[in-house]
């Protein structure tokens, strides 16, 4: 028998966790959680009009869109590999009950028909089912006096309207309905309504654990839906509760929910994990507007690397147990995900480098580090950073050897675009063009060799 001496015990120095971290290819093999474009649902906001693309001030890079521009936006997203979308409507009229929500010619219904005609079955269309955007008081249903002049959402009076809204959306072409009002019995009312209307195969994604959160502020700008009095704490959950979330999820599943959601995501990853472990059903998490806005604001100040932080957050949401994430990520993050996935499918390892991250650093150090991995380096030359990216791309190319290349993802611009000009006026290459450019460089190198 071996003596139980320190040198014979399991652990350091026999076991070294860092062995799996030194080689980047091995790190990828050992990675437990990886993102793909199939993990995401993109939220989109549709409003009346034509040719409308109105940026949401508190959600840079996201827009209120008229139906025609919505079709264009979905088309651009589809080119990047995104296939799932959740629609929020901003109606041309509001009233006390939110009746335009179930109008068969309502704004979401128009959007559904246009998207279905254009993309057929090539996209998954999810509709948010609530009334806060449609009521003149901004609450999520019909109001009634609960005594002493105190107005609150009348739960049972709202349920038939919710069922009507879902049936109208199903008729217009929705693939999934997603009730978000946190009303008691909402899933049962919707399931009964859909089944009676002949939509028994229509899935329900229930916002089963939706918290009364301070993270929703920018969304209420986007959907033009702030409550005109009070708040929504009488129907949305207390942020201090997680056992209650499990009860809410259990109730919705018993009523017929096919998928459940936790909202918000980032501050509620413990709830995502508990729901996934307890129920073993598909779980969605909503990376909400306030979470998005915090990252954007910090990146604008130069305090964080926006892409790295955004991808880290999304990875952690998935790691916690979310099967899908609703996320208003910026287009360059979408391009990075799509391009990296396309390249990986062809056994080309690539990383995307942001010049705002590189600029303050020693380029030679970065080059030497990347050279060891044999990766392609895509210098993300967003138009606003064109000068910085040109310098960095040149320095990397000067030091590059072997399979290391610097490619400038650029439009033909000699000077940066002023921040006062909208980026939508300029075309940034999509991931297909990036992939083609990488493959061309590698092919030319092979011929030269």
CATH of the domain at 246: 3.20.20.70
Same domain? For 367 and 320 the reply is: no
In a domain, 17, yes or no: no
The pTM assigned to this predicted structure is 0.74
Residue 180 phi, psi (nearest 5)? -120, 5
201-220 residue pLDDT tens: 999 999 999 999 989 887 66
Question: 416 and 312 in one domain?
Answer: no
Q: Which of 428, 387, 385, 436 is nearest to 409 (CA)?
A: 428
Identify any residues that bridge with 85 across adjacent strands, giving them in sequence order. 42, 125
> Does 444 fall in a domain?
yes
Give, as one character, the DSSP assignment of residue 200: T
Domain match, 266 and 378 both: no
The answer to whether 335 is a known catalytic residue is no
Of 329, 357, 389, the last residue of a domain is: 329
Confirm whether 1 is domain-assigned. Answer: no
Long-range contacts of 190-196 (CB under 8 A, 24+ apart): 190/129, 190/162, 190/163, 190/166, 190/256, 191/255, 191/256, 192/163, 193/160, 193/162, 193/163, 193/164, 193/166, 193/167, 194/163, 194/166, 194/167, 194/170
325 and 442 in a common domain: no
Q: Are residues 69 and 111 in the same domain?
A: yes
Residues of the chain with pLDDT under 50: 332, 350-431, 433-434, 437, 441
Main-chain dihedrals φ then ψ at residue 143, nearest 5 degrees: -100, 150
Is the N-terminal amide bond of 189 cis, ω within 30° of 0? no
| Contact in structure between 181 and 134 (CB atoms under 8 Å) | no
Catalytic-role residue among 53, 94, 150, 263: 263
Q: Is residue 299 part of a domain?
A: yes
Q: Which residues form the domain of 180? A: 37-329
Is there a single domain that holds both residue 267 and residue 376? Answer: no
302, 329, 356 - which closes a domain: 329
- Determine the 3-state secondary structure of 193 from DSSP: helix
Asked if residue 32 is part of any domain, the answer here is no
Domain presence at residue 86: yes
In a domain, 2, yes or no: no
Do 275 and 404 lie in a common domain? no
Domain count, the chain: 2
Judge if 295 and 351 occupy the same domain: no
Same domain flag for 182 and 285: yes
| Predicted pLDDT of residue 8 | 58
pLDDT at residue number 179: 95
Output the domain CATH number for residue 375: 3.40.50
Count of Cβ atoms closer than 10 Å to residue 374 Cβ: 13
Whether residues 317 and 197 share a domain: the answer is yes
Q: In whole angstroms, what is the distance from residue 85 CA to residue 98 CA?
A: 23
Look at residue 358 in the predicted model and tell me its pLDDT.
34
The pLDDT score that the predictor gives to residue 372 is 46
Which residue spans within 75-220 are E strands per DSSP?
Answer: 84-89, 124-129, 143-145, 151-153, 176-179, 205-210
Q: How many CB atoms lie within 10 A of CB 250?
A: 15
pLDDT of residue 378: 43
Query: Are 300 and 398 within one domain?
Result: no
Q: Are 65 and 73 in contact (CB under 8 A)?
A: yes
What's the confidence (pLDDT) of residue 400? 37
Q: Look-up: residue for tokens 């969605």?
A: 284
Burial track 278-293 (b if 16+ CB lie within 10 A, e otherwise): eeeebbbbbbbbbbbb
Asked whether residue 68 falls in the same domain as residue 94, the answer is: yes
Q: Is 263 designated active site?
A: yes
Active-site residue identified among 53, 94, 171, 210: 210
Residue 195, in any domain of the structure:
yes
């Amino acid at each position: 028998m071996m003596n139980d001496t320190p040198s014979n015990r399991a652990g350091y120095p026999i076991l070294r966790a860092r062995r799996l971290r030194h080689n980047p290819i091995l790190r990828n093999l050992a990675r437990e959680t990886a993102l793909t474009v199939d993990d995401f649902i993109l939220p989109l906001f549709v409003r009346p009009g034509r040719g409308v693309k109105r940026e949401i001030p508190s959600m840079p890079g996201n827009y209120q869109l008229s139906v025609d521009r919505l079709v264009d936006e979905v088309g651009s997203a589809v080119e990047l590999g995104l296939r799932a979308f959740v629609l929020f409507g901003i109606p041309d009229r509001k009233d006390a009950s939110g009746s335009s929500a179930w109008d068969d010619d309502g704004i979401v219904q128009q959007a559904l028909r246009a998207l279905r005609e254009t993309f057929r079955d090539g996209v998954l269309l999810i509709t948010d089912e609530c009334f806060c955007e449609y009521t003149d008081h901004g609450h999520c249903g019909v109001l009634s006096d609960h005594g002493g002049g105190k107005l609150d959402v009348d739960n049972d009076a709202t349920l038939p309207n919710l069922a009507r809204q879902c049936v109208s959306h199903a008729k217009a072409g929705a693939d999934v309905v997603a009730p978000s009002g946190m009303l008691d019995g909402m899933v049962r009312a919707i399931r009964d309504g859909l089944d009676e209307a002949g939509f028994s195969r229509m899935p329900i994604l229930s916002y089963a654990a939706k918290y009364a959160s301070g993270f929703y502020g920018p969304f209420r700008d986007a959907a033009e839906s702030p409550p005109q009095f009070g708040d929504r704490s009488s129907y949305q959950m207390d942020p201090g509760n997680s056992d209650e979330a499990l009860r809410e999820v259990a109730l919705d599943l018993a009523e017929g929910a096919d998928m459940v959601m936790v909202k918000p995501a980032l501050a509620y990853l413990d709830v995502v994990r508990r729901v996934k472990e307890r129920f073993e059903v598909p779980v969605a998490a909503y990376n909400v507007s306030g979470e998005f806005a915090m990252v954007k604001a910090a990146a604008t100040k130069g305090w964080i690397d926006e892409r790295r932080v955004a991808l880290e957050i999304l990875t952690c949401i998935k790691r916690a147990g979310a099967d899908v994430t609703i996320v208003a990520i910026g287009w360059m993050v979408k391009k990075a995900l799509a391009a990296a996935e396309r390249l990986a499918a062809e056994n080309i390892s690539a990383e995307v480098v942001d010049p705002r991250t590189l600029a303050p650093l020693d380029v030679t150090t970065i080059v030497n580090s990347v050279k060891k991995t044999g990766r392609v380096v895509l210098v993300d030359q967003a138009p606003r950073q064109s000068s910085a990216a040109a310098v960095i791309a040149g320095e990397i190319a000067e030091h590059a050897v072997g399979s290391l290349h610097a490619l400038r993802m650029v439009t033909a611009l000699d000077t940066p675009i002023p921040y006062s000009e909208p980026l939508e006026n300029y075309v940034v290459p999509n991931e297909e063009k990036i992939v083609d450019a990488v493959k061309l460089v590698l092919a030319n190198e092979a011929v030269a060799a």
